[in-house]
Amino acid sequence: MTLGSYGQFCPVAMAAEMLCTRWTIVLVREMVAGSTRFNDLRRGVPRMSPSLLSQRLKELEVAGIVSRGPADDEPGVQEYRLTKAGHDLQSIIEAFGIWGQKWIETQATLENLDPSLLMWDMRRNLDPSPLPDRRTVISFLYPELAGGRRHWWLVVEPFGDVDLCSTDPGYDVDLWVTTNLRTMTEIWMGLARVDQVRDKIQFEGDPAMASTMQTWLGLSPFSSQSKLVH
């Protein structure tokens, strides 16, 4: 029996042996959410060192959870895809998320604010359908933050691709949103609705887009578990 094994035949223990190592669940979450390339994974798990990320990906490959291969569209670039067993982990990730959203103190959650993570998740879940049928640019400004963490742009391309920039991409901006990181995170997590914190957000630009923000801004997959405070 390997050291580090639990030595139990129970399937719970066997699964935990594989999945309950540092960063693994968070990494799988990022893959379930759709990231496939090394540097995309890094953006979703920014505090994980690249060597550990690389190591975990190999372990997951050996375990049959991840398969590695050239990207379909861009050969020469490696992609990490979930296998069937990997996709089945979605139920575990969901169980974690639902439990976490329900039972972890909101207080603790809001001590872990991170604008790059927030914007990266917002990018992923933004719903382009209520937006104009052309390139649309939304700028987010967090005045309390410094340097490259202060200003962000979401660029929604005509066919729904969304890009995240932390330097000005140079396009005309349709809507400027100025708020603080905590408020924006509360909205994303479903702890507040835009209309409830209107006094903490300033809009400039297209008033229609401003007033419909709650519809095109996607929320966290677990937001529905929260009992909307305020």
CB of 75 to its own copies, least distance (A): 29
Answer for which of 8, 78, 91, 224 binds DNA (CB under 7 A) is 78
Figure out which of the listed residues 19, 141, 145, 201 binds its own copies, where binding follows CB under 8 A.
Answer: 19
Helices 24-32 + 50-62 axis angle, to 10: 80
The candidate with the shortest Cα–Cα distance to 203, out of 190, 228, 184, 230, is 184
Intra-chain end-to-end CA distance of the chain, in Å: 52
Q: Residue 27 has which token pair?
A: 């990494």
Nearer to DNA by Cβ, of 80 and 142: the residue is 80
Contact 142, 181 (CB under 8 A): yes
Residue 9, classed as helix, strand or coil, is coil
- Binding of its own copies at residue 136 (CB under 8 A)? no
3 is a contact residue toward its own copies (CB under 8 A)? no
Binding part of the chain for DNA, among 18-26, 88-96, 164-172, 183-191 by CB under 7 A, reads 18-26
Report whether 137 contacts 165 (CB < 8 A). Answer: no
52 binds its own copies (CB under 8 A): no
- Residues 120 and 63: their CA atoms lie apart, in Å, by 28
Give the whole-angstrom CA distance, residue 158 versus residue 28: 30
Q: Which of 72, 73, 111, 172 binds its own copies (CB under 8 A)?
A: 111
Stretch in the footprint of its own copies (CB under 8 A) among 88-96, 142-150, 157-165, 200-208: 88-96
| Binding residue for DNA, selected from 47, 84, 134, 230, defined by CB under 7 A | 47
Site for its own copies (CB under 8 A): which residue of 82, 118, 162, 164? 118
